A and B are shown apart, each in its own frame.
Chain A
Amino acid sequence: MALDPKTMAYINMFGVMGAMENLCELDASARALLTNKKPIRLCFDVKDGPKATFTFANGRVRVDPGVHKCDVKIPLGSPQKFNDVVDGKATPIPVKGFQHIGFLTKDFDKLSKKLESYLRPTEEDLADPEFFEISTTLTLYVLGTALAQVADYDEIGKFSAHLIPDGDIGFSVKDGPAVTIHFKNHVAAAEKTRAVKPRAIMEFESIELARALFDGKVNALACIGNGSITMRGMINMIDNLNRVMDRAALYLS
């Protein structure tokens, strides 16, 4: 059951790179990299794949779907080429905005590396409580966003999604970060906020447990048995979302 480059590209764009906006909210040193007052809009335009605009200014990043008012535009010929860029196997070549090459090669590169350090942490890094919390929070956001991409683009993910009725699923850490997955006509969208009126909730009792689950150190079913993961509401929504999560984990691994 091969992974689909297009789904991977959507995950890379909105899940992995999309976490830059949260990185800057959570990490002061990341914010400090973005001292420019005038916004710089970096657009990725992937043929037959995702398109997004990253706006950098005043210590903040905003990610919007589509390409708008680009200061720097990077076209990619295919989802796989975009994935290669994210994986560091290819160098992106902008067609517009050469005056911002400095931003790309310095600030953006540093931001990307910082994000990577949180998403691929070492055991030593995770020993620092602050790093641990930021890293786990970002991982939750990436996973939550990836769920929506897998449900919308991966063939097996779409099969799971077609069994999920309309409504919101809350995916959260108790007293911690949360993601809402919206389903409407079996199309998913993720929002990095706590669900207001969910039809189903899956919640981890602590951020430590979330980390252990992400790292595969504990079994989710055993956690349901001991009550450290709670599920409520339309369990069929969660059940099918869990199938999507299995698939998302393959992409993210």
Chain B
Amino acid sequence: MEPYKHTKSREWFDRATKVIPSGVYGHLGPAEGNFIPVSKWPLLSDDAAGEYARGSYFWDVDGNRYIDYMCAYGPNILGYNDPDVDAAALAQIKRGNCVTGPSYKMVELAELMVDTVKSADWAFFAKNGNDVTSCAIMTARAHTHRKKIIFINGFYHGVSPWTQKVDYPGVIPEDVANNLYIDWNDIPALEKVIAENEGEIAAYIATPYMHGNYKDNELPAEGYWQKVRELCTKHGIVLIVDDVRAGFRLATEGSDAFYGFEADLITFCKAIANGWNVSCLCGKEFIKSAVSSLSYTGSYWMSAVPFAAAIANITKMRELKLPGLLREKGIKVTDGLKAAAENNGFNLIVSGEPALFYLRIANDDSLFLHQEWVAACVERGIFFTSHHNHFINYSLSDSDINETLEIADEAFKVVARNHPELF
């Protein structure tokens, strides 16, 4: 097929750079989004073809359609513009959104979260993942009166200074002075760091499995989480699961439940409301008074429309028993991709959970081939990334998967043709 052109994307992006730092900043932009090479990627979206983002598709300003495996980096879990979720949101708009008195919808959503998430005795709402991971850290410190936090190397927990590293612009050593770093799945390292900092550690924070960027994702080793739970309980360390990325894709009850343990605090965002902006920290009863004591709020944190959307979304996900369906779709996609790779002489490594699969072509050690293949997919209408896990959504049909596999196969052939030295 004819590769897409991005003339209007470029025009809009050039306008953007004049008035917006970096044009499009952050993970949706070309730098952090690893658009390699940038010419192959759409930069801004629109309903240019008379179509709008729906289901598994979005359209760019040039009218190109993409089957989207990034799902806005996670929020799209039922499909863009899901009719049930959007109907609930639009109905709430007419009844009030951001008003002085918060809507009872907040109470309904909190009750639903407590009923849905296995380890939750309460729910605290904000807007972004970073809001609630920061809230979790402050809560742990307020509860324990300790300073230090254990992180897993390769972590991502948001954008506040405490989540960043000492060499990042705008971060000072004092911001991260109480951060302790260990490797994933390394219980001896955890025991060592606890022993070396006895009585000083407020929290251990980690994602349910290691879904860091630029490397194969790693699932928890057998018994890993149970041992972490045991050590945290023994040493009075608050166990925080950052479920912002994986939340609701592994289990509606929380990814801690999926892996057979209970967190003290667990954070949600992304998929909680199918794209409407709300995040949530859930926790155990024993730490409820600590979160109550925080001075922590925001202008839009109690807006009712995202609450209504989240209620509709979570209700629908529960009714569908969604995580199992996402797993099946993920397996179908990744099995097909591996077969297409093999047929064309490529070694495609698939890692992580199927609903959030991570891909890497392993024929070289540099990601050059992988980036070429991903770019060839993107310019033919399959939105993958080369550095980050992907996301499955409910609307992804067998027809979409078949189209994906056909394009992926063509993209493998393009890369193979460009590298006769390899085959």
Contacts and interface: CB of A to CB of B under 8 A. Distances in A.
Interface of A: 1, 156-157, 159-160, 163, 167, 198-200, 219, 221-222, 224-227, 230-236, 240, 243-244, 246-247
Given A226-B14, A236-B213, A159 B367 contact: no
A159 B176 CA distance: 12
Interface string B331-369: 000000000000000000000000000000000011110
Interface stretch (B162-170, B307-315, B322-330): B162-170
Q: Lowest 7 CB-CB distances: which A-B pairs, in order? A: A243-B167, A236-B214, A221-B22, A233-B366, A199-B366, A224-B31, A160-B167
Interface of B: 13-14, 17, 21-25, 29-31, 34, 36-39, 43, 165-169, 172-173, 213-215, 365-368, 371, 387
16 contacts: A156-B173, A198-B366, A199-B365, A219-B22, A221-B22, A225-B38, A226-B14, A227-B39, A230-B37, A232-B36, A234-B366, A235-B214, A243-B167, A243-B168, A246-B167, A246-B169
A219 B31 CA distance: 12
Contact of A233 (B29, B30, B371): B371
A219 B172 CA distance: 22
Contacts of B23: 222, 225
Contacts of B365: 167, 199
A169 to B, nearest CB: 10
B167 A159 contact: yes
A243 B168 CA distance: 7
A225 B22 contact: yes
Chain B binding surface SS class: loop
Nearest to A168: B366
Contacts of A222: 17, 22-23
A191 B96 CA distance: 64
Contacts of A163: 165
A64 B241 CA distance: 52
Contact of B214 (A230, A231, A234): A234
A225 B366 contact: no
Contacts of B367: 232-235
Nearest to B18: A222
Contacts of B167: 156-157, 159-160, 240, 243-244, 246-247
Given A225-B30, A236-B387, 16 more contacts: A160-B167, A163-B165, A219-B21, A221-B21, A225-B13, A225-B17, A225-B22, A225-B38, A227-B38, A231-B36, A232-B368, A234-B214, A235-B34, A236-B214, A244-B167, A246-B167
A156 B365 CA distance: 27
A188 B39 CA distance: 32
Contact of A224 (B14, B38, B173): B38
A221 B31 contact: yes
Contacts of B37: 227, 230, 232
Contacts of B38: 224-227
Interface centre among A219, A231, A244 (most CB of B within 10 A): A231
B8 to A, nearest CB: 15
B366 A200 contact: yes
A156 B166 contact: yes
B166 A159 contact: yes
